[in-house]
Structure 1
Amino acid sequence: MTTPPGIARVSVSTVGSRIAFVVAALAAPCGAAFAQSTATRIEEGTLTEVVVSATRVQGTGLIQAETAPKARTTVSDEYIETQMAGQSVINSLNLVPGVNFTNSDPYGSSGGNLRMRSFDGNRISLMLDGIQLNDTGNYAMYTNQQLDPEIIERVAVNMGTTDVDSPTASATGGTINIISVRPKHDPGMAAQASFGSDSYQRYYLRGDTGAFGPWDTEALLAVSYQQYDKFKGPGELEKTQINGRIYQDLGDGDFISLAFHGNKNRNNFYRNLSKAEIAANGYDFDNDPTCTRPAPGAGAQNEATSATGTTSLCTNYYNVRSNPSDTANIRMQSSFGLTDSLTLTVDPSFQYTLANGGGITVFAENDRRLIGTATGGTDLNGDGDLLDRVSLFTPNNTNTRRYSLNSSLIWELNDTNMLRLGYTLDYGKHRQTGQHGPLQADGDPENVFAGRQGQAIPTADGSQLRGRDRYTVAELNQVSLSYSGRLMDEKLRLSLGLRAPFFERELNQYCFTQVSNGTQYCTTQVPNAANAQGYVTFPGGGTTTYLAPYDRTVKYDKVLPNVGLSYEFVPGNTVYTSYAKGFSAPRTDNLYNVQIQNVEPETTDSIELGYRYTGSTLIATAAAWTTDFHNRIVSSFDPELGYSVDRNVGDVDLYGFDASLGFDIIENLSLYGSASYIHSEVQNDVLISPTVVLPTEGMELVETPEWTLGTRLQYKIGGATLGLQGKYVAERYATDINDESAPSYTVFDADARYDFEMFGMSSFIQLNVINVADKDYLGSVATSRFASATSPFGSVTQPPLYSVGSPRTFQVTVNASF
């Protein structure tokens, strides 16, 4: 890979050398004052800093002085508010060393891909005020569904580690916790409007009651609406969000807080492109603006691309490439002093999700799934015959109801020593269905959730046509124990913790599963008798074999230690080291396989050694780290079974170096810079057929840039603030054997803001410009095993696909508050 100019390339290949590399570098990334739960914030002595900023924050808001003996970085609201209004808060982490986020559009509503020290978003725990936000099934992180940036206090990032009470069964790569704001003590209102490129419009309104009633209760309510066109191709993105919070101070540090959040997205997808498509059609190539369907009538109408195929002529029509989602949560945080030295924290929550990713499939009207136990078929287009092949809207809906509790008992032994015992429950009911629905004459779905909320497709025997039907209960019971101490006149800080997650998945598969490829086959047909392996066939279905519907329960548990030690050897100069073990249980899709495999959880062992400097004008950090990634789960071929299954295929060795600094050059001029180097090396090959081994040993992980650099220069004069920031991302491999890659790129953004008083109101006007140079580049990567169509590893059914980076985009925001 290409090394940025002026930076020496580091080459270390052995495990021993990697440890030496860590020790020699003596470095550690900066940390935040905030962790996740109420208990963690009390233990670290930072709970009150949500209101009173006791920690020194450098002028850009991207780095602050830290004391926690672990690798943690905080991004404050001072920086977040300089970014685009309505933008995903995850994009605000993109200048943090070790983090790379590729946004799918300029305003954030299309989501994006996150990598943190090579780990993808599914292996990073995302939390809001301590509650787990990752999907309960596949641990996916949905960056477009996050809290509006105006009500975020700050975001804390744990690099490669969790906190001792992190409510997660998936975080091998670290954690991100979003901390929301408290209601203001004085009453007030804020109104904001934003307009920009691509017909962008957004409106935001917030009201604070101030302290009211006999107990000085505080509350806030905020609503927003956002809508804009895609920057390429047809379609639009629309978001509506509401947030609220009630806060009651109980005195002596005790409190109760109840918050709620609701988010509604109605989005059209951008079309991801292969390099061949970009070469042939350009970066602006996208989905089709219209769908032409044959008029129902006499004879046979065929809407497929072939005589017997299931791919629709309208497969790329923009309104079937949609991503609707409805999400909500209610979360409580509380702290109760039982005695002078004993504190109880209780943080319960509830979450709701309904979402899908669109889809379209052609069905023959005499398809056996439409017949079921009856005869004949179903007239899908209403022309009076059963001769047609008709397109249907076929999204896979996911509906989740999630109940969680994070509680701790904290015992302050004295002013400098503390013990904590914690318990976490995370109980998710995960319903995955695929009720199909009709399309209108112009190709638009009758309902964005198809047959789940709209008109279903009846079968001849009175049931409904489905493409998926399963129900999973994911239950995490976790206990944790930790000690934290401040010794030697508080120069030495020690943190010792044990986290013991007990994770269970109850699996209920209500459809048949095709043995050869794992495709679900949902039908009411009566199968033939099972063969010796327990598989079935269907009358008239040839020799294709299926696994019958089933239920099963799997359980995983692990004891996960984490240790941190820091020492301030000279005022303002601190060294520290930390160790943490991570754990990620197999995902739902890994477990709904034809052949039940004894897949072990993925685990990580992460070591870090570091140095921090905190001065009056300079905050600097540097970190060297190493992570051993064990039991990596991928889909690989089983020669005895004759098909691919998900299994543990070996390890990945990771090591790297992070550095960042914040320098207040003069009173009003601030500079931030970050650099990150990541080396990844896969340790095993993967068997993909009876005779073909994919040579992945020695390869680098996909979508992981070896180098990233970030910078921001910010100048304040009077009421004006000017900012210029940039990010360099090195080459990223797009295939497992590293035979195709996304080129390196550098993108700059700019912002300008003017704060002023008008008619007794505090107001500002802000201009944001992203991709100032209007550079063409490739963003997120949908990776594949290999790219070459002439490779000895087989044919390429799907080459790597890339999202196109956002072009130069302008946004103007006007705000008034009192």
Structure 2
Amino acid sequence: MTRRKRGTLTPQENLSMNNRSISRAPRFPVTRLALLISLNSLCLISPFIQADDDVPTSATAPASDNSAAMTLGTVSVIGQGETRQVQRVTQKDVKAYSAGTSPMKVLQRLPGVNFQSGDPLGREEGSQRISLRGFDMHHLGYTLDGVTLGNMSFGNFNGLSITRAIIAENIASSEVAPGIGSLGTASNSDLGGTIQFTSSNPDKEFGARLSQTLGSYDTSRTFMRVDTGEYNGLSAYVSGEKYDADAWKGHNNPQKSDAVNAKVNYNFGDNRVSFFHSTSSHDEANLPNMSKSIIQRLGYNWSYYTPDWTRAVNAANGIYSGGVTSANDATYNASSLRDDELDILNGNFSLTDDLVLDATAYHHHDSGRGNSYYPFVYTSGSTTVPSNSIRSTKYGIDRTGFQSSLTYYLGQHEIQGGFWIQSNKNDISRYLFDTTNATPQNHIVKTDGLPLAATVLDQSYNDLTRQFYLRDTYTLLDDRLKLEFGAKNTVTTSTAEGKGGGYASGSLQARDRFLPQVGATYKLDEDDEVFTSYSENMAAFPSGGYSPFFTTQSAVDAQNGFKDLKPETSKTVELGVRRSTKLYSASAAIYNTKFDNRLVAITNCTGIVICQNGVANVGSVTSRGLELSFGLTPNENWRWSNSMSYNHSTYDDDYASGGNTVHVKGKTVVDTPKLMYSSNLDWNWEHWNAGLQGSYISKRYYTYTNDSSVSGYWLANANLGYDFGKLGALKDTTLSLNMVNLFDKRYISTLNTDASAATDPAGNLQILQVGTPRSAFVTLGVKL
């Protein structure tokens, strides 16, 4: 391994400096500055460290491995040189999707990735789901510039979605590691792999970009970005997005969002300090969950009663019409509101020729509500609330963290140690507001000015995470063999405090002092290599609506305070081969994962009825599979990329619920297709570009006993674009057309497995989302 000297960069860092001026600012006393930033950041988190006496004295933790932006045109998309299975999305891949598409949806073309949503651009968070190798979204790790985004759940308690964290055009790279993520990843949920996003750097020249998208369902999206250019090492950009559309079904149910991003970079000598800021506001009409029975009786396009208030009132009183048979079949209207602010301060410093420090401090604040009309009469004690009140679930997140790594280059060794500390204070509460004298809300549902009728629940959580790691990368045999070995120590303490509604208080701790990770890659020749890796991981106990404490105190006491509850863990081994030539690239990987102590929610009611759900340890899950990818580039005009995944994930044990044994041993894990295939053909010639994308997902079960499933399906998308080049004062002008669901296929997309049940014999389990019909979007983009 070639030792990194002062003034040199790692391959990824070198690619990230594409926007950096060659000129350098005068050198500063970098060691002092680095230590100053570290000390200031530590001052911010010192109260969190002192809050728990069990903080280990040894230090090691998550490095910002991907804190620098990457230009993927020259980075291997199949993870060449990695000891783990790694796949990356290129800028050419992104062009196949309409502007404003969720960055998560773009990942669906990679092997092992199952992404689902109920809207054409994948933005509506209530219907958004992603899984890797049979692990659902709650058991994956997500980062932006190395900073954790939590587990991206809809009722999030520890982060935010990537769509709210950053505007899509400001993402420089996306990387998926199904199965085994980097040892230094800042995540306490990455049992089944990691998804890492990197923000783009400011351009080195002054300029502006503007794009306008119009399309189906009254979609209008505007994006703008202005770059200052680089002056004496200082550069910055500010950008904004305004998105306005209607849900594809229902009565003019709006889905709106506004976002602002800003980033500042300062490069001096061989060092960099950067600051990223994001603020976003999302107001979305939710797409309703459906059941097989609802789809059969009421049709694919069934939605809310809006604007027919009389029908909603009649249904709440048991007077049904038009195929409706239950008050559960629909509510009058429902919306989600989220406001977020995210700040990330990062510094990367060459302390000596062989010693590099990377340090990041961050803060995230979220305020959110989920508002839905409630078609039932609510009674609790002496309190009675009439039907068609508004059920409002309030979410709050206030989290601060610090992470740092120190890398030492010693001969053939790259030794790295790091740590991550985060304090996450989050709360969840639910209220009912009386609408007796109010006008029905036909668009975004809010509770402003409505009288509070009942407090259903009120609970707060305080989660403290500390993670330390140490890793050595050893290169030998003239750089043909690379060995990686290391381990991490992680502990998360989650403390719940019940404040209303009889909800529970208590504390759980997930701790493991030694979680090893080892891997190797060997270059057979200039084009071919083999790799293998092994990793152990542990997840923290979730908070909020996913916590074991999200129930009554009496239920917790009956379980002895969950003192015997064990944290979820995974052990993964994988083996693969890669080949990369100018004509084509290919990879194949096989894997085996043992997922122990899997916790699942036990649904005690259907639809939107207010009730407490339970939690069960269903034992272990075994996942085995094969992932293939193949990309062919016969010339500069054509590119054909393919991926195929086979997964066999089964429950290893039966579990007990309500005094009964539920027989699930040997059954397939819910929402886990055995076969997935994606094929993408891209063409460009002079000013033209076009693409055709096809994908297949096989049958998926949505009950634990596998008595109910949804059919597999094929989907096709297409894109066509023209680049006008320079037009007058405009540096570049582009026009693109994107088609989603080209052949207007009807299919079941999202399965809300958070509310799965053992069986669904009558087809009444409301956890299904139907896919969007054919949609079209046109985008005009200019550069100034």
Taking the aligned partners of 2:728 and 2:105, their CA distance within structure 1 comes to 34
Taking the aligned partners of 2:603 and 2:766, their CA distance within structure 1 comes to 21
User: Which amino acid in structure 2 is aligned with residue 117 of structure 1?
Assistant: R
Structure 2 contact 158–426 (Cα < 8 Å) conserved: no
Taking the aligned partners of 2:596 and 2:166, their CA distance within structure 1 comes to 33
> 2:472 aligns to what?
483
Residue 652 of structure 1: how far off its partner (Å): 0.9
Taking the aligned partners of 2:141 and 2:522, their CA distance within structure 1 comes to 28
Residue 162 of structure 1: how far off its partner (Å): 2.3
Taking the aligned partners of 2:277 and 2:214, their CA distance within structure 1 comes to 27
Structure 1 contact 365–390 (Cα < 8 Å) conserved: yes
For residues 304-360 of structure 1, the C-alpha deviation after alignment (integer angstroms, 9 at most, x for no partner) is: 5369xxx997993453x1111112200122111222211211111111111232233
Taking the aligned partners of 2:379 and 2:79, their CA distance within structure 1 comes to 68
Q: Secondary structure at the match of 2:548?
A: helix
Residue 63 of structure 1: how far off its partner (Å): 3.0
Taking the aligned partners of 2:199 and 2:687, their CA distance within structure 1 comes to 26
For residues 567-593 of structure 1, the C-alpha deviation after alignment (integer angstroms, 9 at most, x for no partner) is: 002111100100111211222222344
Residue 755 of structure 1: how far off its partner (Å): 1.1
Q: Does 1:125 align with 2:141?
A: yes
Structure 1 contact 122–139 (Cα < 8 Å) conserved: no
* Percent identity over paired residues: 24
Q: Secondary structure at the match of 2:278?
A: strand
- Unmatched runs of 5 consecutive residues or more in structure 2: 1-7, 20-68, 320-324, 605-611
> 2:248 aligns to what?
231
RMSD of aligned residue pairs (Cα, Å): 3.0
Structure 2 counterpart of 1:679, from 629, 648, 653 = 648
Distance 1:62 1:764, change over 3 A: farther
Structure 2 counterpart of 1:496, from 485, 494, 514 = 485
Structure 2 contact 261–278 (Cα < 8 Å) conserved: yes
Structure 1 contact 625–656 (Cα < 8 Å) conserved: yes
Equivalent residues, number:
694
> 1:620 aligns to what?
586
Distance 1:636 1:64, change over 3 A: closer
> 1:780 aligns to what?
750
Task: Pick which of 557-566 and 185-194 moved more.
Answer: 557-566
Residue 145 of structure 1: how far off its partner (Å): 2.8
Q: Does 1:113 align with 2:71?
A: no
Q: Does 1:396 align with 2:393?
A: yes
> 2:284 aligns to what?
267
Max Rg structure: 1
Residue 760 of structure 1: how far off its partner (Å): 3.5
Residue 740 of structure 1: how far off its partner (Å): 1.3
Structure 1 counterpart of 2:361, from 341, 348, 355 = 348
Distance 1:227 1:443, change over 3 A: same
Distance 1:226 1:62, change over 3 A: farther
User: Which amino acid in structure 2 is aligned with residue 624 of structure 1?
Assistant: I
Taking the aligned partners of 1:747 and 1:364, their CA distance within structure 2 comes to 42
Q: Secondary structure at the match of 1:279?
A: helix
Q: Secondary structure at the match of 1:579?
A: strand
> 2:716 aligns to what?
748
Taking the aligned partners of 2:295 and 2:665, their CA distance within structure 1 comes to 30
Structure 1 contact 437–447 (Cα < 8 Å) conserved: no
Structure-to-structure mapping, 1:45-444, within 5 angstroms: 45-52=11-18, 63-64=77-78, 66-111=80-125, 112-134=128-150, 142=161, 144-212=163-231, 215-234=232-251, 235-252=253-270, 254-290=271-307, 292=309, 304-305=316-317, 316-319=330-333, 321-361=334-374, 368=381, 370=383, 389=386, 391-414=388-411, 416-439=412-435, 441-444=438-441
- Unmatched runs of 5 consecutive residues or more in structure 1: 1-41, 296-300, 371-376, 378-387, 460-464, 514-519, 521-548, 791-795
Distance 1:84 1:687, change over 3 A: same
Taking the aligned partners of 2:631 and 2:446, their CA distance within structure 1 comes to 47
Distance 1:728 1:315, change over 3 A: closer
Q: Secondary structure at the match of 1:482?
A: strand
Structure-to-structure mapping, 1:547-558, within 5 angstroms: 550-552=505-507, 554-558=509-513
Structure 1 contact 139–170 (Cα < 8 Å) conserved: no
Taking the aligned partners of 1:711 and 1:733, their CA distance within structure 2 comes to 24
Q: Secondary structure at the match of 2:665?
A: coil
Q: Secondary structure at the match of 2:371?
A: coil
For residues 513-540 of structure 1, the C-alpha deviation after alignment (integer angstroms, 9 at most, x for no partner) is: 3xxxxxx4xxxxxxxxxxxxxxxxxxxx
Distance 1:80 1:178, change over 3 A: same
Structure-to-structure mapping, 1:437-516, within 5 angstroms: 437-439=433-435, 441-444=438-441, 450=447, 454-455=448-449, 457=451, 465-513=454-502
Distance 1:55 1:613, change over 3 A: farther
Distance 1:419 1:82, change over 3 A: same
Residue 625 of structure 1: how far off its partner (Å): 0.6
Residue 216 of structure 1: how far off its partner (Å): 3.0
> 2:48 aligns to what?
none
- Report the TM-score, using the length of structure 2 for normalisation: 0.83
Q: Does 1:646 align with 2:662?
A: no
Structure 1 contact 56–64 (Cα < 8 Å) conserved: no
Distance 1:369 1:432, change over 3 A: farther
For residues 110-147 of structure 1, the C-alpha deviation after alignment (integer angstroms, 9 at most, x for no partner) is: 13111110111111111111111125966687465352
User: Which amino acid in structure 1 is aligned with residue 739 of structure 2?
Assistant: V
Structure 2 contact 157–396 (Cα < 8 Å) conserved: no
Q: Does 1:698 align with 2:673?
A: no
User: Which amino acid in structure 2 is aligned with residue 685 of structure 1?
Assistant: D
Taking the aligned partners of 1:447 and 1:432, their CA distance within structure 2 comes to 21
Distance 1:293 1:135, change over 3 A: farther
> 1:590 aligns to what?
548
More helix by percentage = 2
User: Which amino acid in structure 2 is aligned with residue 591 of structure 1?
Assistant: F
For residues 278-321 of structure 1, the C-alpha deviation after alignment (integer angstroms, 9 at most, x for no partner) is: 222221111112253799xxxxx9995369xxx997993453x1
Distance 1:455 1:62, change over 3 A: farther
For residues 691-740 of structure 1, the C-alpha deviation after alignment (integer angstroms, 9 at most, x for no partner) is: x3221011000111100000111111001111111111011111111111
- Report the TM-score, using the length of structure 1 for normalisation: 0.80
> 2:609 aligns to what?
none
Distance 1:400 1:181, change over 3 A: same
Distance 1:75 1:447, change over 3 A: closer
Structure 1 counterpart of 2:526, from 571, 581, 592 = 571
Taking the aligned partners of 1:62 and 1:449, their CA distance within structure 2 comes to 47
Structure 1 contact 496–563 (Cα < 8 Å) conserved: yes
Q: Secondary structure at the match of 2:433?
A: coil
Task: Pick which of 741-750 and 281-290 moved more.
Answer: 281-290
For residues 246-294 of structure 1, the C-alpha deviation after alignment (integer angstroms, 9 at most, x for no partner) is: 0000212x10000011121111111222222222222111111225379
User: Which amino acid in structure 1 is aligned with residue 186 of structure 2?
Assistant: P
Structure 1 contact 305–312 (Cα < 8 Å) conserved: no
